[in-house]
Structure 1
């Protein structure tokens, strides 16, 4: 994209929020941190909130409100148009196909689906995280820019400086998993492989889980096995959580299982970024979100989505400390040199300016 020389463009971010009105983690990753990064400070004057505020550019994220109605979305667009504001829609998940795979966990009502389609059509442009998502939404809007996820290096100072050396001083080798309630099916997919591995190496390895699990039966399936649910304390807010991870997590190996379907195909490689930035080698499902980034046996291990493949991956990596170190070092070097906001924040500026100048 050709950079446009613009200064002091005011941007108001209507971030996605629940009843607490606090921004979700995706809001920080996709909007709040990149837009306020030093790279963009001379170009953008950024405000944020849950209600419309006059600005040169209004960016609406995902479903905006937890109880959003089509009428509220229409009123928002009316205000934007009256104000002569450029409207940008930001979305990082294929929510249009989510209800077919995870409606029970996410309660994505039909009205929200209508809101998503409406905002996507009405927007002057859309910013997404992957090319798959760009293709999925292209029937709604032809002006879509792909800006891949990147981590804010300011939250990773311990890892970047080497203060948090990823070496586990416990007697057990630790396998880590970080997930949310919407990823239960992904964890269930490799449940047999995890149980088999934990039994075989009983007393030698431990599985640590960070995040929330919707189905408590998953934890029950690990009964009598070495599994620990890690308490993050009061560090739930994304910036605090990443700093906490950087300073406290000492995993020998991390996992990122992911089913392959219409919804997950549009996901990003964010778990690869998180694990790799912290110097943790990972096993990733051999599916599009990771195939486009992870180099097998160079920056990670790609495993097919069946138990035998994951058991084999565990066998190889748990018994090869040198390989784990190699994967961790090379993956971290890639992320810190390529996928941090220091290198990528400019992409947000280019996309927003391109949409703004055409609106």
Structure 2
């Protein structure tokens, strides 16, 4: 369907670069989001960078979406949307023969545990909305081959587009001078279980290395108490501020623990890109997304789930500062060469151009008046009534208003 971007069950990663002649007309993208979170801000970065290739965009919240937002020639792009309102709008788009794209960066079907995030995506109304939106999209976009393989059971048209980093965010940031050796991690509260891989090492490391300080932002490992050498910083919802904070803290070592679970294997290599861009020597769980991206002992250290492996990796980097510096510099060079948003934006723009060339996106969504318009609006009203009932029953209302706003950042 999309040439090199068409994804079969085995997965296919984008490797083709854009030729300037590929975009003869401006491609208009309507980005639809539930809330401003790290993912939505990241996707806006790369689409903004696509501007030099003829791609324009604007952002609209799902809750404020109206029929007039779907102007002729515009391609809707839903980012991680699963609120039941998504079902309403995607059904309306399908009925009107309008094409749309769906972006997903987590395996919401395989979230483990009873975290608010897992509870939200496990709700029947949310799951129904998610699966309908994914299965009826003209194309599903992800950055993970593992996730693409899973999503292909719902939609065979899955494109794996490259991840990226916007170096302009930290262009003028100066790391804080310090004699401390800071070990850091930043993420959302949903990452607390992953931090269990390293929580048992904190006290022994602090005892053996008096110059070490642990810093956690957004989430603290269980049973770890904040003190003079264990610091906690509140979650930063704005991604630009978050990445500047990370660069300013001058972390010597960055931690990227991930338990070996299906949902985690579907994540992107965001910690590697961030640590590399900030010249931080990273220690990563040896599973996708880091396996195959991090070059062992060159651009980072890959370790297993056992505590001994994590302890050995930390000790190596703490006892060998020259090696730590070499890894940080090699990771920076690799991230700059491979992930700079200015370099990969052409591949994203080419994808959007191909979708636009094959999309059905000229039909006007009626606001009422004509028989066809009334039919669609009646269906929309009926679906909204269903959503209202679900909300009054409790679960989704509590989660949508709280979780999406506060916890979707990492």
Which bracket does the TM-score occupy, shorter chain normalised? 0.7 to 0.9
Superposition pairs for residues 8-87 of structure 1, below 5 Å?
A: 8-17=26-35, 23-29=36-42, 31-37=43-49, 39-50=50-61, 51-52=65-66, 53-55=69-71, 56-63=74-81, 68-69=83-84, 72-81=85-94, 84-87=97-100
Structure 1 segments of 4 or more deviating over 6 A? Answer: none
Larger Rg belongs to: 2
Q: Structure 1 pair 45/103, CA: closer, same or farther in 2 (3 Å)?
A: same
- SS of 1:284 mapped into structure 2: strand
> Which of 158, 161, 180 matches 1:144?
158
User: Where does residue 20 of structure 1 map in the other structure?
Assistant: none
Residues 27, 352 of structure 2: 8 Å contact kept: no
Aligned length: 332
1:227 aligns with 2:239: no
Rounded Cα–Cα distance in structure 1 between residues aligned with 2:130 and 2:279: 37
User: Where does residue 212 of structure 1 map in the other structure?
Assistant: 219
Rounded Cα–Cα distance in structure 2 between residues aligned with 1:225 and 1:268: 33
| 1:173-231, Cα deviation, whole Å (9 max, x unpaired) | 11111121111011012211233222322x32110111234xxxx35434667201135
TM-score (normalised: structure 1): 0.86
What's the RMSD between the two structures over aligned residues?
2.1
User: Where does residue 176 of structure 1 map in the other structure?
Assistant: 184
| 1:232-263, Cα deviation, whole Å (9 max, x unpaired) | 7xx631123223433x2211111111111110
Rounded Cα–Cα distance in structure 1 between residues aligned with 2:98 and 2:55: 15
Shift in Å, 1:152: 1.3
Rounded Cα–Cα distance in structure 2 between residues aligned with 1:12 and 1:223: 43
Rounded Cα–Cα distance in structure 2 between residues aligned with 1:207 and 1:320: 18
Superposition pairs for residues 251-262 of structure 1, below 5 Å?
A: 251-262=251-262
- SS of 2:193 mapped into structure 1: helix
- SS of 1:345 mapped into structure 2: helix
- Structure 1: stretches of 5+ with no match in the other structure: 18-22
Rounded Cα–Cα distance in structure 2 between residues aligned with 1:73 and 1:173: 46
Rounded Cα–Cα distance in structure 1 between residues aligned with 2:52 and 2:129: 31
User: Where does residue 299 of structure 2 map in the other structure?
Assistant: 299
Residues 127, 351 of structure 1: 8 Å contact kept: no
Superposition pairs for residues 254-293 of structure 1, below 5 Å?
A: 254-293=254-293
Rounded Cα–Cα distance in structure 2 between residues aligned with 1:206 and 1:245: 15
Q: Structure 1 pair 306/24, CA: closer, same or farther in 2 (3 Å)?
A: same
1:5 aligns with 2:13: no
Residues 53, 349 of structure 2: 8 Å contact kept: no
Rounded Cα–Cα distance in structure 1 between residues aligned with 2:114 and 2:355: 32
User: Where does residue 95 of structure 1 map in the other structure?
Assistant: 108
Residues 29, 77 of structure 2: 8 Å contact kept: yes
Shift in Å, 1:138: 0.6
Superposition pairs for residues 274-353 of structure 1, below 5 Å?
A: 274-353=274-353
Superposition pairs for residues 179-190 of structure 1, below 5 Å?
A: 179-190=187-198
TM-score (normalised: structure 2): 0.76
